[in-house]
Amino acid sequence: MPVAQINGINLGYDVYGSGEPVVMVTGTGAPGRVWRTHQVPALRRAGYQVITVDNRGIPPTDLCPEGFTLDDMAADLAALIEHLGQGPCRVIGTSLGGIILQELLLARPELISQAVLMASGGRADALITAMSAGDIELSESGSKIPPRYAAYTHALQNLSPRTLNDEEKLQDWLTVFEMSPLDPAAVRNQLGLELIPDRLPAYRRIDRPCLVIGFADDLVVRPYLSREVAEAIPGAAYTEIPGCGHYGYLERPTAVNSAIIDFFAR
């Protein structure tokens, strides 16, 4: 994996193929490799070059134990795009990655030609605030959650009833979650970054074409929060994918990939 020295840190990224570039940004605690199974192959078949990023706090990118902000993460993406000589380019972000891209759209719009914002919100509501506080408290407690317990709670939080009611698919997910648990302490400095004030008025200044994707069964960022983002951004399109939760891009990748590629072709 190549590493760029930008903004005083080492930032890890991967580049797949050639063509017009698409930069992909993950959510809290997720490495860039989560895009490899479904999104990278689909975008490559559509003729795009794909660039995935490991955000601050995710190795091999520096952990930055002193802490960092959303503005720092948006600046990292801007610097990476410039480092690679790829702007303006298409960008995709999910969850926290979507919030980062929304700030990049405001700060450095000249680097972006089109943006896809998945499971993203423009404000922290009561549930997001409560979840964030709980995650931070857990990370700072030093407590270790048993892997099997973490797996099923992770499934309940991030998957749809459609998947939870399919025993074969659910077992596959539980196995993955148990083998690769998210350690809140390891990503402590990313926790709480989704606690943003109401940014919807600011998003009215975004002037790049945007597609906002909500996931119908998302319990983390309920789709009404994503609809608010689309309604705030002038001219933004909104689509809601049924039968998937917060991990909609992994649960229903064909529908998600089609929406992205169709939007990019406009």
pLDDT tens digits along 203-220 = 999 999 999 999 999 999
CATH number of 3-124+196-264: 3.40.50.1820
Catalytic residue (one of 54, 95, 135, 139) = 95
Confidence band for 127, pLDDT divided at 50, 70 and 90: very high
Sole residue written with tokens 């939080």: 157
pLDDT for the residue numbered 142: 83
| Residue 152 near residue 175, CB atoms below 8 Å | no
Catalytic annotation present for 83? no
pLDDT band at 260 (very low <50, low <70, confident <90, very high): very high
For residue 130, the model assigns a pLDDT of 96
218 is annotated as an active-site residue: yes
DSSP state of 239: E
The active-site residue out of 62, 139, 218, 226 is 218
Task: Report pLDDT for 187.
Answer: 84
| CA neighbor of 256 nearest in space, from 152, 119, 144 | 119
Question: Which residue intervals of 108-209 are DSSP H helices?
Answer: 126-141, 147-158, 161-164, 167-179, 200-203
pLDDT at 186 over 80: no
Distance of CA 194 to the CA centre of its chain: 11
Q: What's the whole-number mean pLDDT along residues 127-142?
A: 92
Domain locations in the chain as residue ranges: 3-124+196-264
Question: Is 246 marked active-site?
Answer: yes
Mean local confidence (pLDDT), 227-252: 98
| pLDDT tens, position by position, 17-44 | 999 999 999 999 999 999 999 999 999 9
pLDDT at 185: 61
The active-site residue, picked from 14, 120, 160, 246, is 246
pLDDT reported for residue 180? 80
Tens digits of residue pLDDT in 48-94: 999 999 999 999 999 998 899 999 999 999 999 999 999 899 999 99
141 or 88, higher pLDDT: 88
Reply yes or no: is the peptide bond before residue 88 cis, omega within 30 of 0.
yes
Left if phi > 0, otherwise alpha if psi is -120 to 50, otherwise beta: which for 58?
A: beta
Radius of gyration of the chain (CA): 17
* Over residues 124-152, mean pLDDT: 92
Q: Name 48's Cβ contacts closer than 8 Å, sequence gap at least 6.
A: 17, 19, 20, 21, 22, 90, 264
Summarize the confidence of residues 177-191 as an average pLDDT: 79
CB-based contact 122:225 (threshold 8 Å): yes
What is the model's pTM? 0.96
Question: What's the confidence (pLDDT) of residue 144?
Answer: 84
- 23 touches 98 (CB < 8 A): no
